[in-house]
Structure formats: structure tokens, C-alpha cells
Structure 1
Amino acid sequence: MTTTAPTVVLVHGAFADSASWSGVIAELQAHGIPVIAPPNPLRGLAADAAYVASVAAQIDGPVVLVGHSYGGALITVAGVTENVVGLVYVAAYALEEGESLGELQGRFPLSPLASNLKQWTYPVEGGDPAVEVTIAADAFPSIFAADVPADVTKALAVAQRPLAAAAFEETAAAAAWKTKPSWALVAGADEAINPEVERFGAKRAGATVVEIEGASHAVAVSQPKEVADLIREAVRATS
């Protein structure tokens, strides 16, 4: 047990940014919990996980890592950082060591997300352009945020952060849930990640699981109090 309360590090996923945690941040701050929501580069599993690990390592005292969606894959790898004391998965991927997002998803029926991705390219220094993906803007509300008000989803759809396509094939270098306690929130009506993928990963990790019926992938936006409650449970358990 630690003497200082952990700092919560919120890691957003693909097609979103740190602002997607705003409601959760407000809830945690109202309870006096130190929190930081760094930007996720979204350029590849190993590079992004290394960035999250470096953020965590520079925080004085213990850290609880929270990952939404693709952010779950990152905290799985970054969570082996020495001062990380707990992991919280929010509608997220909990990978096994040596497993890729594509492999984990491939065990279950694909969500509607797969057929609604739009490809773009971005320049890579000294090489050919690389592919990145966003969700088709017209499909974004139903796939990503069906329980979020329409005016909000319209803004979210055009403010998406693209994910490098290579991230789907990279494999996880570690699985921190083998040595750190974990919690998981399953979004019962998720159309971006099949909820079965979330349930499977959470069970395999031995996580304490909460399921919210009818919750979309953007559960941190639509139900910030419930998400913050689970994070607070993790903070209490690791304090």
C-alpha cells in the first residue's frame, strides 16, 4: 500500500482527444483526485505506449492508468512502468503479450466500425506516406456516440484524431494486467468495439468488471460520473 494517493492518467483512444475526458476530469477533481490527460500520439502501439510510459514515469508517486478504446492497449504495455499501481479499461482493448488489436478483434464478429473507416495518408520523413484512418463523418454518431446529444457528436465527428493504420497490426510487448490489479467498464451498446471483445479482455485480465447497459463507445462523454466512480474505486484500492 502507498502513502500518497495515486495520480490518475487518462489515455484517450483513436478518433478522439483529451477533451473527451472533460466530464470525468471534473468528477475526479471534485473528489480531490490528482489527474492528467495527456495527448495520445496515435502513431503506433509501441511508440504510443512508450510515450504514455514516459508520462507516467515522470509523475511523482503512484499512478493509475486509465485507457479508453485503443488507449487500453497502450496502458496494457505502459502499465509495466514501476510506479503504475493499477489499470482501468474503459470500453477498451486489454491485449495479451504478443497479441495485436487485429488478432483480438478477429476472434469476434466485427463491429460496424470496420466498414465505416475512411483512409487518409500522412507524410513520413524519409519514406513513403503512411495510412491513417478516421470514422466516416456521417456514420460517426451512431458508431461512436449514439447516446451523446446530436450537436455534440457533429462537433466530435469533424474534430477526430486519426489513428495510424499500422497500429492494428503491432503486437503488445507486455501485458501489465498480469502483475497489476485492473478494473474494466464494458459499454453494453458499443458499436465501435464489439462488447464481447471488451468482456473477453476484461475476464482474461482478471479485472473487476462493471457493465453499463445501453452505453455507447463514448461512455466517458455520456456517463462521466459512472466512469469516474470506477476510477475512484481503483484509486481507493491502490491507495
Structure 2
Amino acid sequence: MATLNLLALILTLSLEVMGQPVKMAPLSPMPLAHETKMDQLGKYIVKWTPQVADIIFEISVATTGFIGFGFLTNGGMRGSDIIVGGVDDLTGEVYLTDRHETRNPVPEIDSSQDVQLLGGFQNETHTTLRFSRPWYTSDSNGDLKLNKEDTVCLIWAYGDSDFVEGDPMTINYHSQMGRKSIYLNKPHLRIPDMGEGVKTLELRSPKNQDEVTITYPEYTPRPAPENKMCQRDEDKK
């Protein structure tokens, strides 16, 4: 965890030198604890590592346009906590803004920018953004408190063109979008290294021994509980 914090600090300092715009550059390797596909085709991939004060996210999407990501308050989009980012095709600059949904066509930018851009990259087919977001912020008007003890409803979207401030035509809410319940604070389970002193034992029955069949009761795994905030209004009826 200390290594992750150090890498994030180095990246952050390098991106903020003299207040220059963040230019696209290959991302340094950073092992993140969890990964999930937000859509069935695997075009929107989210990786993350929960930390004490914040979460490090890395999002890779099959687009060269804008990426939308956020957290839902209820079954509707109103009041949602939204992050919009991407890589400008003309300048090569990485952009990332902290916003919230209103009744306006374009999500309103927050007065307090509480997401920290750690880097971004774009090739011919994909855009990748890495950033951190605190569990709790002081922006009660634009940001949601992320629950450490329960699932969080993540919302996602992306478009074919870059986001242009003030131009609602660059954001299409009815194309590539969705939502998914995720337990962001789940622990990272690692298989311990047993070392060279550990030996494995393989048991085999004699060839002439009668075949033994062991049966187990049929078991159907229970699906993970769905966060009610992730249900659309029509799903609640």
C-alpha cells in the first residue's frame, strides 16, 4: 500500500509541475487490487485499489472520445456525482473534471475539484485514465459520500468524440451507458508464498480398485445483493 501511495505521489507531482496542462504519456505500471467489466462486451474496464482515505481508479474504454464515470444517488440520474475525462485529439492534453448532474444537458462542474488526475493515455482504439477520489469530500453539493461498508452504484458512459465545454452535443446520454453495483472496499485476497520448503502430496487409487463415485447435494449460488440505488425507476415497480 505504501508503494501505491508513493507511485501516486510521484505521478501527481510530475503532472502538476509549474501548472502546465497534463500531456498524454504512457502510464507507469501500477498493480491495482480489483478489476471489473462494466458492460457485457468488455469495452469499459474499471480497475481500482481502495485505500484508507481514497480510491485509485484506472479506467480503460474502447473509445477515443470522452469517458463518463460516477456514482448514483438513487434510481434516477438527478444529483449524481459524475466525472468526465478523456484525451484531446488535437492537443494531446488529458482532461478530467469533477461534476454533478442537474437538469441541464451538460453535467455542472463542481466548485471544488476533488478528483486527482494521475495520468492518461490514448491509442488508436482505447483511452485510459488514472485518478484518485476520496471516500469523503467536503463538497456536499456536488460529491457523494462513498460507502465503505456496502455496495456503491457506479454509472458509466462514453462517446465517440471529445467533450467540449458548453456543447451538449458532445455528450450523448442515450448511446453507450449503464450502471453496476460494486463493493469498492472489498479486501484484496493474496495467496501466500509457501516457499521452497512446502511439498505437495498427490493421492492416486490403484488401477484395479473399484470406481467410487461421490455425490454432493445440488448447490445453486445466490446472486450478490443488488444495490437498490442501482435499479432504474421502472425496475422498482
Q: Could you say which structure has the greater relative contact order, defined with CA pairs below 8 angstroms and 6 or more residues apart?
A: 1
Q: TM-score, normalised by structure 2?
A: 0.24
Q: TM-score, normalised by structure 1?
A: 0.24
Greater share of strand residues, 1 or 2? 2
